[in-house]
Structure 1
Amino acid sequence: MTDAPQRLTIRRPDDWHLHIRSGAMLRAVLPLTARQMGRAIIMPNLVPPAVTTTQAEAYRDEILAALPAGSRFQPLMTAYLTDGTDADDLERGFRSGVLTAVKLYPAHATTNSAHGVTSIAHVVPVLERMQAIGMPLLVHGEVTHADVDIFDREAVFLETVLTPLLARFPRLKIVLEHITTAEGVDLVRRHGPSGRLAATITVHHLMINRSSLFAGGIRPHLYCLPIAKRESHRLALRRAATSGEPWFFLGTDSAPHPIGAKESACGCAGIFTAATAIELYAQVFDEEGALDRLEAFASLNGPAFYGLPPNADSIILERGGCVVPDVLDVDGRNAVLPFRSGERLDWRLLAE
C-alpha cells in the first residue's frame, strides 16, 4: 500500500441512471448527487409517470429549483415509454433539448412501472422514430412472466426481447441499464463495438450478491430490481466495470425509499447509494487494482456514448476514508437508510 496513490483527480463524473423522486424526497437527496456529479439521467417513474415532453419539462423545473445555490448540476430528462406514447411528442422533446432519452420499463418490472410497455409490438412506430432521429432507448432488462424465476429474468429478457430488438432496429442506440449477469456483460461486449449498445453498472451490484440479502437474516435494504445474482455474476460485473471497455459506464440506479417502506410486509425495491456514490465506486476500483480506469468508467464513457462532451471540471478523492451517514432525514417524519450506512469507506470526496 505504500506505493498506492493517496489522492486521485478525475474529470467530474456523471450518473447515467438516477432516481430522485419528487417533493420532499427530491429536496433531501438531490444535493448529495449534485456535489459529486456533473449530470445525471433522471428516471421518469414518478406517480404519475413523466410520459410527455411537457411533464418531463415540469419535472426538470422542479429539480432545478431544488438545487443548492451555485450548483452547476444538469438533469438530463427522460420520458416514460407506454403503449400509447406519441412519437411526434418525443421528437419535439428531443429536438428541443428537453428530452435526452426514453425509458422502457416492461409493465410491472419494478417500482412504479405499472404503466410500462406490455409488448414491443405496441411501440414499434415509436422505436422507428427514435432510430431515425438518434434518440437513445434506455431499457430495464427483465421479463415479468410469472413462470420465469426472478433470478433468470434478465437472461430471458436478453434472449427473447433484446436480441430480437437489436436485429429489428439496427441503428437504434440502446443502453441496457443496471446489468446484473455475465450474460448481460457478454451481450454488451458483442454489440458494444458497433456503438449501438452500452450498459450501466451500479455500485451495489458490484458489492453484493444474492446471498447478501440473507446474511444473518433478511436484509430489506439490499432488495433491488433487478435482484442481485450469484457471486459469479458479481465478479463478471466487476471485471467489466474495471476493464476500461468504453461500452460500460457509471449508473447508480440509486433509489431512495423511506425506511418504513423498505421495512414492511411488502418492501419496496431499491438501494440508496447516492450519499457516497463515487467513494463506493472508488473503493471497488481500488480493490480491483484499477484506479487508473475509474475516470473512463465514471467520467468519459457515458458522455461518449451519448455524444456529449466530458465535464470540464474535476473532483479530488482522498484515501483516508469517510463514514457513510447513518440515516438521511427527509421531512422530519421519514428518513432514508444509505447503502453501507454507518460503515467506513476507504475514500472520500474532498469538498470544493
Structure 2
Amino acid sequence: MSSNSRSTDFIVRRPDDWHLHLRDGAMLKAVLPHTSAHFGRAIIMPNLVPPVVKTADAEAYRARIMAALPEGHDFEPLMTLYLTEGTDPADVELGAKYGLIKALKLYPAGATTNSDSGVRSIEAVYPVLEKMSELDVPLLVHGEVTDADIDIFDREAVFIDRVLSPIRERFPSLRIVMEHVTTEDGVNFVKGAGDRTAATITTHHLIINRNTILVGGIKPHYFCLPVAKREKHRLALRAAATSGDARFFLGTDSAPHMKSAKECACGCAGVFNASNTVNCLAHVFEQDGALDKLEAFMSLNGPAFYGLAANEARIRLFKGDDPLSYETRVSVDGDEVVVFDPGFPLFWRYEAVNA
C-alpha cells in the first residue's frame, strides 16, 4: 500500500488467518462462511472431539470443511494434527509429504478447550519434534503450563521458561509458532529467539485487557484462553503487531461456542471474531498510526513464515462516514454464537478488488 500511514482508502493482499477454530457439524456449517468470506486460507485447529490426531483424520476433516464451504467462496483450509504422546512420526511424515499436514499443535493437557488428550511430558514427544524438524513442519504451541499452583495470569511466562525455551534450544532448526501470544514476556521471547520462531496475535488481545472481562461484572464473551492480561501486555502486543516485524502475524483464534455454553455457571473459553476482524484491525492500526504495516501483519508475514506465497487476490479497505452495521449473532442449531464486540464503532469496510 501507499507509504501514507493515514490513508483512508488503500489496497492490500487478501488476508489469511493462521489460527482458527471451525469446530464440526452444525457449528462448522454456521461459522465457516464468516471466515471464508474474508480470508484466503486458515490454519485449522485440530482440537475436535475426538481430536484430529492422524493424517487420515485430517483428510476426513478437510473433506467436511470443503463440503460446508459456500458456493463461490475461494478458501483453503490448512490442516494440522493434534500432537499427543502417541503421535507416530511416520504418520507425520506421510501427511507432510502428501502435502496435507502443514503443522502440528502442542496442547499441554488441560490447558484449553478439548485439550485433555494433550501432552503431559514434553520429553515423550521429542522423537516427533525431531521428525518435524527434519521435515520442516512447524510446531504450533499453546503456551501455558497447567500446574494448579501457577496463577492463570502467569502461565504463559512460566511455560516459556519451563517448556518453550528448552524446546527452542534442543531443536534449533524447528519452526515454532507461539500461538495467541498474550504477554510482553512472549513478545520478548519471540524477538530474541531467531527467525525460526514466530507468534500469532489475536484481534481481541489487541483490544481488550483483563479489566474488560471483570470490571463492572463478569463478561463471558470476552473470556478466552490464554486469558487477556494487564494493560502493559496489551500494549506490548500492539507494538509487536504494528511494527512490521515479520515474526508477528494474524491468528484470530476465533473460537465459537454456543451462547448457552458461555453464559452459564462454568462458561467456555473462546471469542468468535471471524466476522469483524479485518474491520477491527484497520481501526487498531489506524489508532497506532500504522496502517502502512497492516498488510504485513494480516497478509504477508504469515505466508512467508510458512513458506507459502501471499494471496494474489486483493481487497480495498476504505473508511466510511457512518458506523458499520454487522450481525452480532450467528444462529446455530436453535442457539447462537455471539460475535466479538470491540467496544467501539467500526468505520472501516472492505471489498474485493476485481482482477
Give yes or no for TM over 0.5: yes
Matched, 1:88 2:85: no
Tell me, in whole angstroms, the C-alpha distance in 1 between the residues paired with 2:184 and 2:302.
21
The percent of aligned pairs where both chains have the same amino acid is: 59
Local SS of the residue matching 1:244: coil
Structure 2 contact 55–81 (Cα < 8 Å) conserved: yes
CA deviation profile, 1:231-285 (whole Å, cap 9, x unmatched): 0000000000000000000000000000000001100000000011111111110
Tell me, in whole angstroms, the C-alpha distance in 2 between the residues paired with 1:151 and 1:162.
17
Tell me, in whole angstroms, the C-alpha distance in 2 between the residues paired with 1:231 and 1:147.
24
Tell me, in whole angstroms, the C-alpha distance in 2 between the residues paired with 1:217 and 1:326.
21
Counterpart in the other structure of 2:345: 344
Counterpart in the other structure of 1:199: 199
Q: Unpaired segments of 5 or more residues in structure 1?
A: none
TM-score normalized by the length of structure 1: 0.96
Q: How does 1:115-264 map to 2 (within 5 A)?
A: 115-191=117-193, 194-264=194-264
Tell me, in whole angstroms, the C-alpha distance in 1 between the residues paired with 2:49 and 2:83.
14
Q: CA deviation at 1:34?
A: 0.7
Structure 1 contact 224–271 (Cα < 8 Å) conserved: yes
CA deviation profile, 1:143-196 (whole Å, cap 9, x unmatched): 0000000000000000111001101111110000000000100010011xx321
Q: How does 1:317-336 map to 2 (within 5 A)?
A: 317-320=317-320, 321-331=323-333, 333-336=334-337
Local SS of the residue matching 1:322: coil
Structure 2 contact 183–233 (Cα < 8 Å) conserved: yes
Matched, 1:111 2:88: no
Tell me, in whole angstroms, the C-alpha distance in 1 between the residues paired with 2:238 and 2:84.
33
Matched, 1:66 2:73: no
Tell me, in whole angstroms, the C-alpha distance in 2 between the residues paired with 1:290 and 1:343.
19
Counterpart in the other structure of 1:315: 315
Q: Which amino acid aligns with 1:148?
A: I
Tell me, in whole angstroms, the C-alpha distance in 2 between the residues paired with 1:29 and 1:269.
17
Tell me, in whole angstroms, the C-alpha distance in 2 between the residues paired with 1:143 and 1:261.
24
Local SS of the residue matching 1:350: strand
Q: Note the aligned Cα RMSD (angstroms).
A: 1.3
Structure 1 contact 324–343 (Cα < 8 Å) conserved: no
Q: CA deviation at 1:89?
A: 0.3
Q: CA deviation at 1:316?
A: 1.4
Local SS of the residue matching 2:275: helix
- How many residues align? The count is 347
Change beyond 3 A, Cα 1:34–1:317:
same
Change beyond 3 A, Cα 1:13–1:216:
same
Alignment counterpart, residue 78 of structure 2, candidates 72, 76, 79: 76
Tell me, in whole angstroms, the C-alpha distance in 1 between the residues paired with 2:345 and 2:29.
26
Tell me, in whole angstroms, the C-alpha distance in 2 between the residues paired with 1:153 and 1:119.
17
After the TM superposition, which segments of 4 or more aligned residues of structure 1 sit over 6 Å from their partners?
A: none
Tell me, in whole angstroms, the C-alpha distance in 1 between the residues paired with 2:170 and 2:109.
21
Q: CA deviation at 1:8?
A: 2.4
Tell me, in whole angstroms, the C-alpha distance in 2 between the residues paired with 1:213 and 1:342.
12
Counterpart in the other structure of 1:14: 16
Matched, 1:298 2:298: yes
Alignment counterpart, residue 41 of structure 2, candidates 39, 42, 62: 39
Tell me, in whole angstroms, the C-alpha distance in 1 between the residues paired with 2:179 and 2:23.
18
Q: Which amino acid aligns with 1:110?
A: T
Structure 1 contact 326–341 (Cα < 8 Å) conserved: no
Tell me, in whole angstroms, the C-alpha distance in 2 between the residues paired with 1:341 and 1:133.
40
Q: CA deviation at 1:326?
A: 2.3
Q: CA deviation at 1:341?
A: 7.5
Q: Which amino acid aligns with 1:172?
A: L
Q: CA deviation at 1:334?
A: 1.1
Structure 2 contact 21–44 (Cα < 8 Å) conserved: yes
Q: CA deviation at 1:318?
A: 1.7
Q: Unpaired segments of 5 or more residues in structure 2?
A: none
Tell me, in whole angstroms, the C-alpha distance in 2 between the residues paired with 1:263 and 1:8.
39
Tell me, in whole angstroms, the C-alpha distance in 1 between the residues paired with 2:174 and 2:343.
43
TM-score normalized by the length of structure 2: 0.96
Q: Which amino acid aligns with 1:255?
A: A
Structure 2 contact 6–291 (Cα < 8 Å) conserved: no
CA deviation profile, 1:114-148 (whole Å, cap 9, x unmatched): 00001111101101100111010000000000000
